[in-house]
Amino acid sequence: MIDLYTSPTPNGWKASITLEELEIPYEVHPIDLGAQQQKTPEFLAMNPNGRIPVIVDRDADDFAVFESGAIMIYLAEKAGKLLPADVKGRSRVIQWLMFQMGGIGPMMGQANVFFRYFPEKIQPAIDRYQNESRRLFEVLDGRLKDHEWLCDDYSLADIANWSWVRIHRWSGVETEGLGGLERWMAAMNDRPACQRGIAVPAPPEAREESETSAAEEVVKSAQSILQR
Ligand SMILES: N[C@@H](CCC(=O)N[C@@H](CS)C(=O)NCC(=O)O)C(=O)O
């Protein structure tokens, strides 16, 4: 049994979708980021960086894993799925996983900060992160134009990138004109495990409809984190 400490964010969904795809039993522990539950001594003992997601493997002497990419690799290796065993196949998946960890995630994250959360609208910063996110979407699209999935088969790479790209409207980045990316997004959206994963620990509507009060709550919570 895995304990999953998470919140309804792209990095959290990477862990919950992976668990759902691998059919590994897990117990969800929702973390209220606005209430700083990720900074308590108990949480910091699991992840000194004070961020979700974190897993604890009860079947491995309560082994704790932080960093969403490391969590995904740990789970895939445990189950023997979603990460090929051969050196080149494994490397290809890790390359596209790192592309998300070092590119898509940080750039869309900063687009969210400057476009959604900062009270001051600093247009050059908004442009920089939205343009860079769009450029990275074009890289994904280039690959997905003639590949069903990012690597040889459906893998961790698809889960990691989709968990972020799916909130592109929240970041203010369009996917228009990127046919390969849009086809792949629809295929990801149709997967039952992806649908279950993004409902953990709460339904994702807040990220999709910026006009709702739930979206306002997300903004308020993110602003309170940025002020600390
Ligand atoms: N590189 C980390 C990033 C984790 C991260 O930034 N988590 C955010 C939510 S998506 C968080 O916990 N923010 C709370 C805070 O900054 O205090 C990962 O991939 O796990």
The full DSSP string for 5-49 is EE-SSHHHHHHHHHHHHHT--EEEEE--TTTTGGGSHHHHHH-TT
Picking from 110-114, 138-142, 201-205, 212-216, which range would have the lowest pLDDT averaged per residue? Answer: 201-205
Q: Which tokens sit at 216?
A: 């306002």
Query: What spacing in Å lies between the alpha carbon of 52 and ligand 1's midpoint?
Result: 5
Residues 182, 5: Cα–Cα separation, whole Å: 30
Q: Which pLDDT score is estimated for 221?
A: 84
Q: Which pLDDT score is estimated for 208?
A: 54
Query: What spacing in Å lies between the alpha carbon of 11 and ligand 1's midpoint?
Result: 7
pLDDT, tens only, 79-117: 999 999 999 999 999 999 999 999 999 999 999 999 999
State the Cα angle at 83 between 78 and 86, rounded to 5°.
110
Could you give the domains of the chain?
A: 2-81 (3.40.30.10), 87-196 (1.20.1050.10)
Q: Which pLDDT score is estimated for 105?
A: 98
Average pLDDT score, the chain: 94
Q: Which pLDDT score is estimated for 203?
A: 62
- DSSP-derived secondary structure for 53-109: -EEEEGGGTTEEEESHHHHHHHHHHHHT-SS-SSHHHHHHHHHHHHHIIIIIHHHHH
Q: Which pLDDT score is estimated for 174?
A: 98
Closest ligand 1 atom to 36 CA: 17
Q: Which helix (H) or strand (E) holds 170?
A: helix 168-171
| Percent over 90 (pLDDT), the chain | 88
DSSP state of 199: T
Q: Establish whether the linkage from the previous residue to 53 is cis, with ω within 30° of 0.
A: yes
pLDDT, tens only, 183-205: 999 999 999 999 999 999 976 55
**Would you say residue 227 has pLDDT above 80?**
no
Residue 40 φ/ψ region, left for φ over 0, alpha for ψ in the -120 to 50 degree band, beta for the rest: beta
Q: Which tokens sit at 195?
A: 């649908």
- Closest residue to atom 16 of ligand 1, CA basis: 51
Q: Which of 11, 156, 200, 226 to mutate to test the pocket of ligand 1 (most atoms within 8 A of CB)?
A: 11
| Percent over 70 (pLDDT), the chain | 96
Band (pLDDT 50/70/90 cuts) for residue 212 is low
Q: Which pLDDT score is estimated for 215?
A: 83
State the Cα angle at 163 between 162 and 164, rounded to 5°.
85
Strand order in the sheet with 63-66: 26-30, 2-6, 54-57, 63-66
Q: Establish whether the linkage from the previous residue to 201 is cis, with ω within 30° of 0.
A: yes
Q: Which of 44, 46, 52, 100 to mutate to test the pocket of ligand 1 (most atoms within 8 A of CB)?
A: 52
pLDDT average, residue stretch 42-71: 98
Q: Which pLDDT score is estimated for 205?
A: 53
Of 135, 72, 129, which Cα lies nearest the Cα of 101?
72
CB-facing half-sphere around the CA of 67: CA atoms within 13 A? 10
Band (pLDDT 50/70/90 cuts) for residue 225 is confident
